[in-house]
Amino acid sequence: MNRLKDQTSPYLKQHENNPVDWYPWGEEAFQHAREQNKPILLSVGYSACHWCHVMAHESFEHEETAQIMNALYINVKVDREERPDVDAIYMEAVQALTGSGGWPMTVFLLPDGRPFFGGTYFPLEPRMGMSSFRQILHRVHDAYVNRYSGIEAAARGLTERLKRDLFQGGGDADMLNDDLLEVAITQMTTSFDRNNGGFGGAPKFPQPMGLEFLLRQHARTGDVSALRMVTHTLYKMARGGIYDQIGGGFARYSVDALWLVPHFEKMLYDNAQLSRVYLHAWQATGDDFLKRIAEEVYDYILREMTAPEGGFYSATDADSEGEEGKFFVWTAEEIAELLNADDYRIAVAYWDISATGNFEGKSILYVPEDDETIADELDISVAALQERIAAIKDTLYAARTHRVHPALDDKILSAWNGLMLASLAEAARVLERDDYRQAAIRCAEFLLANLRTAEGRLLRTYKDGHAKLNGYLEDYANMIDALIEMYQLTFDPRWFTAACELADATLTHFAAPEGGFYDTSDDHEVLVVRPRSVQDNATPSGNSMIVHQLLRLAAYTGEARYEQAARDALGLLAELFKHYPQAFGEALNAVSLIVAGMHEVAIIGDPQADDTRQLLRVLHETYRPHLVIALSETGAGEDAAVPLLRGRDERDNMPTAYVCRRFACQLPVHTADDLRQQLSSEQ
């Protein structure tokens, strides 16, 4: 065993028996590099990464290659999900060097941590114009020993490039207006795939933040084309192979433009965000198909991705038994053996199953036609088709449980749990699902008990009873989102108080003097640069999410410092929003809050009483993204934990709703119809 044996990360544990003398990231590795005057070989990946496994098997388990690595380098292995700061810094370096990036990431560093060369996957043997990993190892070492001045110059130039600040984009807060949003919509429309949904070509990623922005545009302006882009995309994804037709949940991306062939790993963050988009799209349209997909994703998460303690696991692998996708694909013969002749006929038509298959001789299940068309072809009713398919799914799911499952990454990350908890808590409220409610409460209580220090600071990761690593900006931002949703689900002020405490800690420890936020706190480990990611990737950037949540807290509290910090950060990036809207979907959602203006609704009444519940249902009967809700059963004095409730009381012995917008309040109302009218009127 090497030095990874004491780590908790499942990814690092996968490498603990490599013949490579791996170090975890830390001062010990850098000290040994300085003492031995060796460059550092930094390898970054994550547990569900297919090509990480390939490179590990080819090179890191290969004795000869390991001997070269051990002789010439200090070798450091990093789980990008535990250390997004390290990953962000060196991924930017690799992109600067090669024009692209990805994982596994292989970067060569000086003993002081400055990068000078890097790439992604390197094969064991030369192929397709690629040098072998062993050739790279020898060439880099030769340059380090014999041409050090060139290595030093490369490291110096690359490090200076890493210090560039995208916050100096030339924008200002005056640009946060409707014109900016319209330009962003136009840009997104141009890249929309009108045939298959989504944006751009292969490989195709879901981009839930962009879809959310389009939904908000529809809610704000009635833009029908924006809504159509969302629903078309959601239908295509849910009927494609990127969606697990048997067990629910989305894979990370599709290798083609059709959503047919996925990269089979399932990530918590994708399913957290997509479940919420499907939920919101159902609210906006009333389309029960969208609701069904949302519920299937939630049910999958609660069934397969929830720890006994209440938190959510991180991911499942693409591979099982050494083959990508083996767990998920089927042969026609396998399905025929499990079903009677009539059910087999239905399954073949519904999922387009064939003897030749659509993926390496097997079939990825997908739904090529809508239910009405398939039912007509089969000469049965739509209701009968759906009933039969549900039963067939149960049969196939039961059979699939006997297969070798993909590996599970069972660490619990604050940021990703925040995304999932926010979605689940909102679903519990909107769908009135008590099972979701109880799961959300368990998760929230677990996170605050185990991933928050006695001083109120967040930790990044938890596994096997042990939490560690300083929380990052995205941990704080996503947890605040989740806690706001927990408050709106339960109206228990402890969640709101915790959200404000985390927001205050963020302003204290992450804010940059000129506006915006750093990814790491002011008491974090010193790295070659202090990372400051602004673009959304597969998850919202910490900057985008925190400004969104500060605006929501400002609506609850009237705290100008929350709103000002958000406006300052957004203003600095406004010029970039116009040109690259798909890189700033979550930030544009925050701008939408500013442009639309927030509705603040305070309700005084017993939340269990029918008349109070009627008022609450109005607030989620349709998609209302520019809304915050507070409730008190008995009225609230000036010391209420939630400032929006202060001075509110029940009128005429009836549940009472107070609606405010842009610092102006309407008269209190008692009925659902009156509340609905106030929310739909412009002030």
Task: Dump pLDDT digits (tens) for 540-568.
Answer: 999 999 999 999 999 999 999 999 999 99
Least confident among 308-312, 317-321, 393-397? 317-321
Instruction: Give me the pLDDT at residue 169, please.
Output: 62
Three-state DSSP class for 511? strand
492-541 pLDDT per residue, tens: 999 999 999 999 999 999 999 989 999 999 999 999 999 999 999 999 99
Predicted local confidence at residue 600, as pLDDT: 96
Return the CATH superfamily for domain 599-680: Glutaredoxin (3.40.30.10)
DSSP H stretches of helix in 286-381: 288-304, 332-338, 341-351, 371-378
Domain ranges of the chain: 3-162, 328-402, 599-680
Contact between 217 and 595 under an 8 Å Cβ cutoff? The reply is no
Q: Residue 116 belongs to what H/E stretch?
A: strand 115-119
Asked whether this chain's domains 3-162 and 599-680 adopt the same fold, the reply is: yes
Q: Which segments of 435-508 are extended strands (E)?
A: 459-463, 466-470
Which pLDDT value is given to residue 636? 79
The DSSP secondary-structure symbol of 667 reads: P
Q: Give per-residue pLDDT as tens, 575-620.
A: 999 889 999 999 999 999 999 999 999 999 999 999 999 999 999 9
On whether the CB atoms of residues 122 and 104 are closer than 8 A, the answer is: no
166: confidence class by pLDDT, cuts 50, 70, 90: low
Dihedral through CA 629, CA 519, CA 250, CA 446, nearest 10?
Answer: -60
Mean pLDDT, the chain, rounded, equals 95
| DSSP result, 467-488 | EEEEPPHHHHHHHHHHHHHHHH
Write down the CATH number for the domain with range 3-162: 3.40.30.10
Handedness of CA 641, 644, 647, 651 (dihedral sign): negative
683 pLDDT above the threshold of 60: no
More confident residue, 262 or 128: 262
| pLDDT for 168 | 67
Question: Once rounded to an integer, what is the mean pLDDT over residues 429-440?
Answer: 97
Which pTM value belongs to this model? 0.95
pLDDT at 682 over 70: no
- Encode pLDDT of 203-231 as tens digits: 999 999 999 999 999 999 999 999 999 99
pLDDT of residue 664: 86
pLDDT digits (tens, 9 = 90+) for 448-495: 999 999 999 999 999 999 999 999 999 999 999 999 999 999 999 999
Res 637: pLDDT? 80
